[in-house]
Amino acid sequence: MLSMKITVNGQEKVFESSLSLENLIENLSQNKDHVIAELNGNIIKSSKWLSTAISDGDAIELVTFVGGG
């Protein structure tokens, strides 16, 4: 099986199988309700995460919102 190298928040990660943006977010244990995802410079709506395939060489930025006071 071929591995896939992607960059997530500036760090290179290697995965052994194909995955969707939603699978990646779940794999990284991110709270999906508080994340904005950017794929190769484009913001992806959460309704499209499951159908958005991640490819070798992609750059993903995940921004998590944290409440505070």
Reported as a single tens digit per residue, the pLDDT across 16-44 is 888 999 999 998 877 888 899 999 999 99
23, containing H or E segment: helix 21-27
Check pLDDT > 60 for residue 66.
yes
**CATH number of the 4-64 domain:** 3.10.20.30
pLDDT band for 50, please (50, 70, 90 cuts).
very high
Domain boundaries, the chain: 4-64
What per-residue confidence (pLDDT) applies to 1? Answer: 55
What per-residue confidence (pLDDT) applies to 21? Answer: 96
Per-residue pLDDT, averaged over 1-20, amounts to 90
What per-residue confidence (pLDDT) applies to 69? Answer: 65
Q: Starting at the earlier edge strand, list the strands of the sheet with 59-64.
A: 11-15, 4-8, 59-64, 35-39, 42-44
CA dihedral over 19, 6, 51, 48, signed as positive or negative: positive
